[in-house]
Chains A and B, each alone.
Chain A
Amino acid sequence: DAKTTQPPSMDCAEGRAANLPCNHSTISGNEYVYWYRQIHSQGPQYIIHGLKNNETNEMASLIITEDRKSSTLILPHATLRDTAVYYCIVRVYQTGANNLFFGTGTRLTVIP
């Protein structure tokens, strides 16, 4: 799986958009970008994933650059409950092995 690089920490004001960057310059054509978050010591929570097109769901938007070497997770209106560690993961879907490789992620702190 391709390696990802994320800033270790970020702050965001409550109510503002949180933009979390992820660099995955070695991504291959068949590798998806996944985002998970972990609030305190709870189980990681799936947020969104994409291959090359931008994606949006009820939680967030995922913007993937045209060359696919980087992406941005956007939380449109951050709340205090969005304070968490956010993990960007790229993985190829292949026969059998489907495990996720979690890096160190970005610790997002939403400030009142």
Chain B
Amino acid sequence: DSGVTQTPKHLITATGQRVTLRCSPRSGDLSVYWYQQSLDQGLQFLIQYYNGEERAKGNILERFSAQQFPDLHSELNLSSLELGDSALYFCASSPRGTSGGRTDTQYFGPGTRLTVL
């Protein structure tokens, strides 16, 4: 158990709909990351938040957005869903994710499996 929790575990929805995935980081971790894993793309970084602020962006679609709240939990919002958005969505957290010249290991949650029909 990494200490990172994600809800829900499974989500089935229809095309065009909007969903929200939730992530609670490990106690004390300030950074949250979102990754997408689809069958044909492997694990891809979407976005990082550090202490409530967006820190880095990867291959995140404009239909997707995220935020990190004052209690440090994060939500990933996916809208206008398409069949191709079906994937596993993982959240990870790390203590820092910021400068300092030190390593900052990420710990992953169990993921949310999204199925778009």
Known contacts A41-B113, A43-B4, A95-B99, A100 near B106 by CB under 8 Å: yes
In the complex, B64 has a CB within 8 A of chain A:
no
Nearest CB of chain A from residue B30's CB, rounded to whole Å: 11
Please pick, from A32, A46, A93, A97, the residue contacting B56 in the complex, using a CB distance under 8 A: A97
Q: Do A96 and B113 touch across chains, with their CB atoms under 8 A apart?
A: no
Q: Which residue of A lies closest to B91 (CB)?
A: A43
- Complex CA–CA separation, A94 to B104 (angstroms): 10
Q: Which residue of B lies closest to A97 (CB)?
A: B56
- Complex CA–CA separation, A103 to B4 (angstroms): 23
Known contacts A43-B109, A43-B110, A44-B108, A99 near B90 by CB under 8 Å: no
- Complex CA–CA separation, A59 to B45 (angstroms): 26
Chain A residue contacts of B99, Cβ below 8 A: 94-96
- Complex CA–CA separation, A104 to B50 (angstroms): 28
Known contacts A45-B2, A45-B108, A96 near B98 by CB under 8 Å: yes
Known contacts A41-B111, A41-B113, A100-B45, A93 near B104 by CB under 8 Å: yes
Q: Do A98 and B113 touch across chains, with their CB atoms under 8 A apart?
A: no
Interface on chain A toward B: helix, strand, loop, or mixed SS?
A: loop
In the complex, B55 has a CB within 8 A of chain A:
yes
Q: Do B105 and A49 touch across chains, with their CB atoms under 8 A apart?
A: yes
Q: Do A42 and B110 touch across chains, with their CB atoms under 8 A apart?
A: yes
Q: Do B42 and A98 touch across chains, with their CB atoms under 8 A apart?
A: no
Known contacts A95-B99, A96-B55, A46 near B45 by CB under 8 Å: no
Known contacts A43-B2, A44-B43, A93-B102, A98 near B56 by CB under 8 Å: yes
- Chain A 58-107 interface residues, beta-carbon cutoff 8 Å to B: 87, 93-104
B interface residues (Cβ-Cβ under 8 A, vs A):
2, 4, 31, 33, 37, 42-45, 48, 50, 55-56, 58, 88, 90, 92, 94, 96-111, 113
